[in-house]
Amino acid sequence: MKALTQIFRIFPPEVSHYLALESLKLLKNLGIINILFPVKNPPDGQKDYLNLHFRNRLGVAAGLDKNGDYVDVLDSLGFGFIELGTTTPRQQLGNEKPRVFRYTHQEAVVNRLGFNNKGVDYLVSKIKNKKYDAVIGVNIGANKESINDKRIEDYAYCFEKVYKYCDYVTVNISSPNTPKLRKLHNPHELEKIFKRINEIKSTNQVDIPILLKISPDESDETILKIVNMHETLKINGLIVSNTSIDKEILDGCSHEGGISGKPLFNKSNQLLKRIHEFDKDIFLIGVGGVFTKEDYKNKLKLGASLVQIYTGFIFKGPSILKNILSR
């Protein structure tokens, strides 16, 4: 499989992403995916959080499967939870290509995808009426052309579409590739988003957990405000963190966009640590630069209850699950 991973890297990143996931789908359809990649779920790894049962504490971050096309495959690999999306009310193509760039020696990726996805109705069609062993989350966002309060309504629209068909919902305000999206970290804007979502929850008597995915580039002051208001807004936890636009963390970075992979590890960990110090009780999912068992344990030590991977999975392939979850 390592040789196959090297072959995929011959192709442009988005093409290799597609080929890799299609190859895994083929292995599942042939009934041999768990022969090649046995599921490893140590008994002591099972945990209950947010009134949900996780078979292990390792999940896949949003972005790997934007549309729910590969959720069956990811579930069969043994992830404890799978976060789909980011999905938006309407299908959109995203930013112009090329928009994903590998920095192989640093085990990093820079992307400026821009919420390319097939729209929320398509995603719902892929997951409704199905059952999975993994906990399923859906990451929701706003369309690029939506501005001001229309952007707020995009989140409400997506939430109302998906809540019946997943176990938790993540509000993504931290992608650097949709203009002005990160301005939604402003407490006033956050209040508007969660007021609408909580109205929908109340009207429909829904008690699904809602998480907020935040940027690693925000000031301590902004992050502290978010932490202090999370209970008032009924935010059940934070995902720490999205990609960074800080080029100083990636030597030789020559592209605009969000940096993920190993260079993000320390920056995301610093934010994770600060938030846990601000509030020891807040539920946190750690993401950013996880490639090894030690990286995974580090996130847990810094206050994360669960951990997500994405770029590590791209570089290491499905064997990363066994390497992280093995005793």
Catalytic residue status for 175: yes
Alpha helices in the chain (DSSP H): 2-8, 13-29, 33-36, 71-77, 120-127, 149-162, 187-204, 220-229, 265-278, 293-301, 311-316, 319-325
Reported for 180-189, long-range contacts at CB under 8 A and 24+ positions apart, including other chains, are 180/147, 181/141, 181/142, 181/151, 182/215, 182/217, 182/218, 184/151, 185/214, 185/215, 185/218, 185/222, 185/226, 186/222, 187/225, 187/226, 187/229, 189/152
Residue among 16, 76, 174, 175 flagged as catalytic: 175
Place of tokens 């597609």: 18
Cα–Cα distance for residue pair 142/119, rounded to 1 Å: 10
The residues that are catalytic are 175
